Structure 1
Amino acid sequence: MTSDTSSINPVEAKEDDKHVIHPPSFTWPAIRGYFSTRLSSLIVSRDEYSHYSLHEILNPFKPLVEMNLHQWNFFLLGFLAWTWDALDFFATSLNLTNIAEDLDVSVKDVSWGITLVLMLRTVGAIIFGALGDTRGRKWPYMINLFLLVVIQIGTGFVTTYQQFLGLRALFGVAMGGIFGICAAEALSDAPTKARGVLSGIFQEGYAFGYLLAVIFQRALVDTTPKGWRSLFWFSAGPPVLLIIWRFFTPETDAYLSQRAKFQEGAMNKSSKVKEFKSQAKAALKSYWLILIYLILMMTGFNFSSHGSQDLYPTMLTKQYGYGADASTVVNVCANLGALAGGIVIGHLSTFIGRRTAILCGNVITCAFIYPWAFKPMWVTAFFMQFGVQGSWSVVPIHLSELSPPQFRAFVSGVSYQLGNLVSSASSTIEATLGERFPIDPAKEIYDYGKTMAIFMAAVMVYLIIVILLGPENRGANLGGERKAVYVEESDDSEHEKADIKEIGIKTKVSEV
């Protein structure tokens, strides 16, 4: 299997299918050994390929046959909540002009509502991620969706710009908490062979949410007296069904196993707070390098998605003169490409490795940067997003497999949203860069194609380097970590002195 076998790498895989995670060593032999395997570790051995049939590799839906009702139940809970969360977000993006006219402000003013959402998503990821890993995923999931319901209804009733900004700020906190919880719900109990394609389908729930937002925008905003407000009120309805569904569903098997180990450790301390601090201290000491890497990785990924999406509709209409219908068709095709790329590349990551699959998507993206930017049409938009979102499809499972098992929802969500926070200025960067290439400054028309091509090329170079140099833990057991993952203290009076020597993590790959 794809192996990261040097001692600097916190993630190591051996031929006995065990993953051993150790604190990194920064000796010169360790550093040299790690970087000497960055290329060789991208290639899966012929011996591993011999365990798979050609039908398994070429058919992304084959692993889904082995999913049972329990696993489908949790995957759908995670996928649907993440999809609807995306719809809630795009409800504002699609109605910038309508909201601006109704509240008597400029479109630029309303766009600050989107900026607030992006800035505060990290806060939500910290709050709900910590709750999800320590108190269970069920109630944070339900509370998060309840907040989205209330916020969307409230947004539909705003009468002032200040009220709108306040609710968008709260929406950012709620939206930030969704990803980590939903990814943990959707993937933790999934069979190993199905994780790749499920990760792809789950991640592209974001693109699916955009498509649903476009559909309901056409169906509601242009046909009802309340206009954009009706879309917000409508979007508050379906999450109620998800809340009821989740109420009657227990915790995942993976979390129950994690909670049992946490509670066992807490019995040796005077409070669960001390146990939490002890586990957090141990996770930081063993995983600090992984945490930094995940933030760097997610920064590149978020720049790639925002850089290829935010100004694209503007480029089509202002620079190339596309009408509303033609622009809609091209953007829909782009999202269909994202869905297709998510399924195909996400599935292949199970067989060719997470890093290799991401790099394949990056190569496709690089190949289509020029035609996408200078010859925009449905086919170039399709394959551009096939590459961008195909790479993205590996992110949920790659994050889960690399995150500390005690804080999987927390680390996945926070690293995702920190990357999103850094990249939130991407549209501003592109707009500023675009002013250097004017076409008709009087009409505020700039060469957005050249701007976006330069920006995406730079982002792809950065992302390829980060992925190439990074670790991988493909096939890690997300629900059956050994007891040694969790810190044990031999003496209550020691308080938070963890026996770090016992944190060597050994997890056995699930046999499916």
Structure 2
Amino acid sequence: MLPSKKSSPSDSQTSTGFDDVPLNRFHLKITALTFGANFSDGYHLGTIGIALAAIAPQMHLGAAWQGLLGASALIGIFAGSIALGWLGDRIGRQLLYLLDFLLIAIASVLQFFVTGPVELFVLRLLIGIGIGADYALGPTLVAEFVPRKHRGGMLASLTVLWTVGYVAAYFLGNYLVNLGPDAWRWLLMTGAVPAVLVLVLRIGTPESPRWLISKGRIDEARAIIAKYIGKGVDIEAIAAEPNENAGGYRELFGRAHLKKTVFGIVFYNCQVIPYFAIYTFLPIMLVKVGFGEDEFFGNALLNLFLLAGGIGGLWLVAKLSRRRLLIWSFVVLTASLGVISLWPDGPIPLIFGLFLIFTFVMSASSNLDQVYPPELFPTELRGSGVGLLNGASRLGSAAGTFLLPIAISGIGFGTSMLCLTAILLIGTLTTVAMAPETRNLNLK
């Protein structure tokens, strides 16, 4: 009789499906590498909000140009998410996942040399295109590699890094802007540092096995799974699914996916339009809610609540269903901003307290921005679907960011906040009516 063979870790996975493999170091690595887009997005939004205070008087910018520069990266994210998310479904995730941060790094450095608002607008547009591409491709890769048991937490953690980037920009920016009239140039250029780091670390990232399987390249998928996940992992359920060609955006609006596409676009926009508009111009908001005399304290406290909300949101994503968390988040956000809108001259402790609640809940619920979209669509449409939702949300955010300073000067603070409250109410009603439950979903 032959001696028994000792089992190995890979042998123990022989009958384990790809969606149910144990979490390993590679899953953590691919998630960590995807943090880059979220950190960069938060960081670039935070830096431009601080830099504009110095740029505006130097370049004699009016409200329109300030709004355009504040929204420039968001416009780029729209273009990058739409175009390169679609391209990722056709040529794969791997190459674009690497090149997008090369674009971000180069454009970030060139910001130091701008002489006018047009040049700065174009460069921040390019930065946004790179971030937008990564918003479409990064969560897609994470969703397609990470086992379903851990998918929600991993995807939600991406949004926390947006908050970390935004908070880091605030504290670094407030230090740098006091060092001289050109300190804003150094501040904007610092965005190249994380971009270069991410670019270098991403070299060697493998292609998505799910994408390879969807293209009929089964052997290549098996080789990647064996190297990074483990030998003997069962992919038969995935390989046996119909091998469809990517249908692109037309398919997203077909009968099979229309409801999920519409829900995704509406919920994402209704959440991020108030978020980006308010926090791009946070100094203005603080003056309006009565913290003009101690702006640094109020700003610092709000940034800490943003960070706390992002971390707390990880626990909420793990404990609650996607649908339940989103509905109740919208309810709280609508109620708190609604009171601020209708009673802007109310007692400062009350108004600022509601603003802190709004900040915490907005940050916590925004973790779903990276969780829901990849779970709504099948593999052959995932890059396009995630790209469309991210792109559409940033187009709405760009419009809101551009219009907010104009609206405040034209129709007043309370009415402007009431408009943002109406957007949150639309998000509440849409989520109640249309939100699917995707927790523990087996990805197709």
Does TM, scored on the shorter chain, surpass 0.5?
A: yes
Q: In terms of mean alpha carbon deviation, does 189-198 or 146-155 score higher?
A: 189-198
Corresponding position: 1:466 with 2:430: yes
- Structure 1's 315 and 166: CA in aligned 2 closer, same or farther, altered over 3 A? closer
SS in 1 for 2:371: helix
Q: Counterpart in 1 of 2:41?
A: 85
1:341·1:385 contact (CA, 8 Å) conserved in 2?
no
Corresponding position: 1:260 with 2:231: no
SS in 2 for 1:94: helix
Deviation at 1:304, TM superposition (A): 3.7
- Structure 1's 79 and 412: CA in aligned 2 closer, same or farther, altered over 3 A? same
Per-residue CA deviation, residues 73-103 of structure 1 (Å, 9 max, x unaligned), is 0110111332123212322221112123343
1:307·1:455 contact (CA, 8 Å) conserved in 2?
no
- Structure 1's 106 and 400: CA in aligned 2 closer, same or farther, altered over 3 A? same
Q: Counterpart in 1 of 2:164?
A: 208
Q: Quick check: which one's helix share is greater? A: 2
Per-residue CA deviation, residues 266-324 of structure 1 (Å, 9 max, x unaligned), is xxxxxxxxx85667765654323322332222221223423553554313225513333
Question: Could you tell me which amino acid in structure 2 is paired with residue 468 of structure 1?
Answer: V
Corresponding position: 1:359 with 2:327: yes
1:294·1:415 contact (CA, 8 Å) conserved in 2?
yes
Tell me which stretches of 4 or more aligned residues in structure 1 moved more than 6 Å: none
Q: Counterpart in 1 of 2:268?
A: 298
Deviation at 1:368, TM superposition (A): 3.2
Choose from 59, 65, 83 the match for 1:103: 59
Q: In terms of mean alpha carbon deviation, does 193-202 or 123-132 score higher?
A: 193-202
Q: Counterpart in 2 of 1:508?
A: none
Q: Counterpart in 2 of 1:348?
A: 319
- Structure 1's 159 and 383: CA in aligned 2 closer, same or farther, altered over 3 A? same
Mapped to 2, the partners of 1:307 and 1:121 lie a distance apart of 15
Mapped to 2, the partners of 1:173 and 1:307 lie a distance apart of 19
Deviation at 1:190, TM superposition (A): 2.3
Deviation at 1:474, TM superposition (A): 2.6
Deviation at 1:108, TM superposition (A): 4.2
Q: Counterpart in 1 of 2:80?
A: 124
Q: Counterpart in 1 of 2:196?
A: 240
Unmatched runs of 5 consecutive residues or more in structure 1 = 1-65, 266-274, 438-445, 482-512
Question: Could you tell me which amino acid in structure 2 is paired with residue 417 of structure 1?
Answer: G
Deviation at 1:433, TM superposition (A): 5.7
Q: Counterpart in 2 of 1:51?
A: none
Q: Counterpart in 1 of 2:148?
A: 192
Per-residue CA deviation, residues 336-373 of structure 1 (Å, 9 max, x unaligned), is 34324422322223xxx211111122233245333696
Deviation at 1:406, TM superposition (A): 0.8
Mapped to 1, the partners of 2:138 and 2:57 lie a distance apart of 35
Q: Counterpart in 1 of 2:442?
A: 477
Mapped to 1, the partners of 2:427 and 2:143 lie a distance apart of 24
Per-residue CA deviation, residues 51-92 of structure 1 (Å, 9 max, x unaligned), is xxxxxxxxxxxxxxx632011001101113321232123222
Unmatched runs of 5 consecutive residues or more in structure 2 = 1-21, 219-243
Mapped to 2, the partners of 1:73 and 1:411 lie a distance apart of 24
Choose from 360, 365, 380 the match for 1:386: 360
Per-residue CA deviation, residues 120-165 of structure 1 (Å, 9 max, x unaligned), is 3222112221232232322212211110111111111112333222
Per-residue CA deviation, residues 26-59 of structure 1 (Å, 9 max, x unaligned), is xxxxxxxxxxxxxxxxxxxxxxxxxxxxxxxxxx
2:93·2:137 contact (CA, 8 Å) conserved in 1?
yes
Q: Counterpart in 1 of 2:126?
A: 170
Question: Could you tell me which amino acid in structure 1 is paired with residue 381 of structure 2?
Answer: F
SS in 2 for 1:323: helix
What is the TM-score with the length of structure 1 in the denominator?
0.68
Corresponding position: 1:368 with 2:336: yes
Question: Could you tell me which amino acid in structure 2 is paired with residue 187 of structure 1?
Answer: A
Q: Counterpart in 2 of 1:330?
A: 301
- Structure 1's 279 and 452: CA in aligned 2 closer, same or farther, altered over 3 A? closer
Larger RCO: Structure 1 or Structure 2 (Cα < 8 Å, ≥ 6 residues apart)? 2
SS in 1 for 2:437: coil
2:111·2:188 contact (CA, 8 Å) conserved in 1?
yes
Alignment: residue pair count: 390
1:358·1:390 contact (CA, 8 Å) conserved in 2?
no
- Structure 1's 299 and 224: CA in aligned 2 closer, same or farther, altered over 3 A? same
SS in 2 for 1:67: coil
- Structure 1's 94 and 400: CA in aligned 2 closer, same or farther, altered over 3 A? same
Q: In terms of mean alpha carbon deviation, does 305-314 or 210-219 score higher?
A: 305-314
Deviation at 1:396, TM superposition (A): 1.7
Q: Counterpart in 2 of 1:73?
A: 29
Mapped to 1, the partners of 2:287 and 2:153 lie a distance apart of 35
- Structure 1's 365 and 134: CA in aligned 2 closer, same or farther, altered over 3 A? same
Mapped to 2, the partners of 1:466 and 1:311 lie a distance apart of 27
Mapped to 1, the partners of 2:270 and 2:99 lie a distance apart of 31
Question: Could you tell me which amino acid in structure 1 is paired with residue 439 of structure 2?
Answer: R
Question: Could you tell me which amino acid in structure 2 is paired with residue 360 of structure 1?
Answer: W
Deviation at 1:217, TM superposition (A): 1.1
- Structure 1's 414 and 240: CA in aligned 2 closer, same or farther, altered over 3 A? same
Deviation at 1:209, TM superposition (A): 1.0
SS in 1 for 2:115: coil
Any residues of structure 2 matched to 1:374-453 within 5 Å, and which? Answer: 374-375=346-347, 379-427=353-401, 434=408, 446=412, 448=413, 450-451=414-415, 453=417
How much is the aligned-residue C-alpha RMSD, in angstroms? 3.0
SS in 2 for 1:393: helix
SS in 2 for 1:178: helix
1:82·1:182 contact (CA, 8 Å) conserved in 2?
no
Q: Counterpart in 1 of 2:418?
A: 454
SS in 2 for 1:155: helix
Mapped to 2, the partners of 1:134 and 1:376 lie a distance apart of 53
Mapped to 2, the partners of 1:431 and 1:234 lie a distance apart of 26
Question: Could you tell me which amino acid in structure 2 is paired with residue 303 of structure 1?
Answer: I
